[in-house]
Amino acid sequence: MGTTKDLLARLAARQDVASYRELLWEGSFADYLALVQDDPRIARNAYQRLYDLVAAHGSSERTEYRKVIRRYHFFDDPYDNGADAVFGVDVQLMKLVRVLHAAALGYGPERRVILLHGPVGSAKSTIARLLKKGIEAYSRSNDGRLYTYAWKTENGEVACPMHEDPLHLLPDWGREDVLASLDTTALGYPIRIDGELCPVCRHMFREGMREVGGDVLKLLDRIVVRRLVLSERDRVGIGTFQPKDEKNQDSTELTGDINYRLIAEYGSDSDPRAFNFDGEFNVANRGMIEFVEVLKLDVAFLYDLLGASQEHRVKPKKFAQTSIDEVILGHTNEPEFRRLESNEYMEALRDRTIKIDVPYITRASQEARIYQKDFHRRRVAAHIAPHTLEMAALWAVLTRLEDPNNAKLTLVQKARLYDGRSVPGFTEDHVKELRKAARREGLEGISPRYVQDKISNALVRDPSLTCMNPFMVLNELESGLGHHSLIRSEAERNRYKELLGAVKMEYDNQVKNEVQKSIAADDGAMRRLAGNYIDNLRAYVLREKVKNAFTGAAEEPNERLMRSIEEKIDIAEARKDDFRRELMNYIGALALDGKTFDYTANERLHRALELKMFEDSKDSIKLTSLVSQATDAETQAKIDVVRQRLIDHHGYCPVCAGDVLQYVASIFARGDAEKR
């Protein structure tokens, strides 16, 4: 164990003094102008900086239902080990980034309120939090650096209360010359110097110009420029505003208020130095402001929001309109948005709003990532059995889906299609039709928060718990429905309970499949079976005979063997020839390319071989004997091999591997009993 001195030495080695000093950079206005000419990105506005932040982390593309979907890696949360990662709403995030891009180009969205709209728990706040966290970190990097200034006076320095860009100090007649000196071709958007000095700096500028006899360059020598680091905690460049009791809240919380203590010092309440420019709009300048539940605000606050969005100006008490440069982001739930739509007095706000829907996730695999992120990264003491979080996610998604109009499609199958999995008889075109027909999907249903709460309950219910299985969570989900505050009717409650039954059936199918794979996991035997099948298939299609490996005699293709495999994947007798020719053509095409056929590359054939191997092996293992615990040593040894395969290849622990074998054995036992 190291000494205190050793510990301090390790801490000293880890600190980055050079970066800290870089954040404390200061210089003259001329020094700053040189920096801008060398790197025009320094003079970006808030929208341009936020868009570049998202784009800087890169993106990747995938094709989904013949549509290209772009995933921006920024939303994986690179700052906090994925704590605020956002999953399953890539299309909506694409729309958000497009708005930021258009705003960066100055096409109009920069004069709008970006409104994230969706049901409770759909990650609206998470998106806002991630953007704030990102812009804060970006301001500390070399690519995202920005600067502000202070006035040097005889009585000390007077910092700009709005953290303005020093270029605002340039008179209108000088701005064009500066902009013309900047090479912005690599940026992809224009650099502008918009806005005017805040009231305090305007006062300082006016008084300073009198003192220097109107010489702007002499006045600029009185300016000290400093690196600006945005910080939500320090209320620098990032603001957050949320509704409170109407009696205890007024619009000065947005635009600042008079400092009565300073009135005596400056002689008037109209002196800008006697005003606290500390409203949320003021402190968010150069960055972004988040409006929590924005449509719950009183109308008086919304008036300020209109001017801030459209004109990029706010009106402090007793002062002229003040320029701001910030991204305005709000979020709201559906009831408040419906109220906005129906209120004719709110037309101005609706006209200045860009609504981006953030629905619940409708892909079970993406929903499961939310729970995996929460419970895997927190180092939960108990082991979480395979499929536990996936089944909880599937149930949550099912509550958000509308029943399909096609009688041949179940709701679980619809969820599979949405998740990119195949369902016989349905194509990507069917999925697109299903999406179009269901306008309300993702806007109703169970919130991820409810599922997270019930998973937590299951984990802490038994202090001695070493492994949590899906039934523990599903039982918690069901028991909580009786007092769920957001369920509006008994019919809805009963529907959610029925969906739990559908999820349990899906779980049965999945664990049966895993156990079957583990029993049939003899790779050598599987390859021999596959080779035997292909030899017989080739002979059948080419109308040849097969050489018996033992006798050497030429025999007819083994129809019984081929059908015993094909029937496992529901290849009807009438379709066997089509299936065999299709497979033979595929093998032949590979051979022409100099490639060798591998049965594992054909999903349907692979599954058929697994089921055939399981059928041939299960009697020797006597899995159903687990129910009675009456197993001999030889059978137990075989079961132990299967249990170990579940542990090695499917993520089970010794406890849940034994439990799932017991459970699947009971399923097979019931099936055998029903057959009798």
Q: Do 370 and 419 have their domain in common?
A: yes
pLDDT tens digits, one per residue of 189-242: 999 999 999 999 999 999 999 999 999 999 999 999 999 999 999 999 999 998
Residue 499 included in any domain: yes
> Residue 637: pLDDT above 70?
yes
pLDDT tens digits, one per residue of 541-580: 888 888 876 667 788 888 888 998 888 888 888 889 888 9
Residue 546 included in any domain: yes
In angstroms, the CA 425 to CA 407 distance is: 13
CA angle, 230 then 135 then 86, to 5°: 140
Structure tokens at 128: 């806002």
> Residue 624: pLDDT above 60?
no
The string over 259-297, giving b where at least 16 C-beta atoms fall within 10 Å of a residue's C-beta and e elsewhere, is beeeeeeeeeeebbebbebbbbbbbbbbbbbbbbbbbbb
Q: Do 534 and 642 have their domain in common?
A: no
How does residue 361 score in pLDDT terms, banded at 50, 70 and 90? Answer: very high
Residue that terminates a domain, selected from 476, 495, 517: 517
Q: Do 398 and 512 have their domain in common?
A: yes
Residue that terminates a domain, selected from 481, 501, 517: 517
Task: Report which of 453, 454, 596 is spatially closest to residue 531, judged by C-alpha positions.
Answer: 596
Burial of 200 per CB tally in 10 Å (0-12, 13-18, 19+): buried
Q: Do 513 and 527 have their domain in common?
A: no
pLDDT tens digits, one per residue of 392-446: 999 999 999 999 988 889 999 999 999 988 888 888 888 888 988 888 899 999 9
pLDDT tens digits, one per residue of 512-550: 888 877 876 666 777 888 888 888 888 998 888 888 766
Residues of the domain holding 482: 364-517
CB neighbour list of residue 50: distance below 8 Å, 6 or more residues apart? 100, 104, 131, 135, 288, 327
Q: What percent of the chain has pLDDT over 70?
A: 93
Residue that terminates a domain, selected from 486, 517, 548: 517
> What's the number of domains the chain is made of?
3
How does residue 471 score in pLDDT terms, banded at 50, 70 and 90? Answer: very high
Residue with tokens 């159903």: 624
Q: Do 426 and 510 have their domain in common?
A: yes
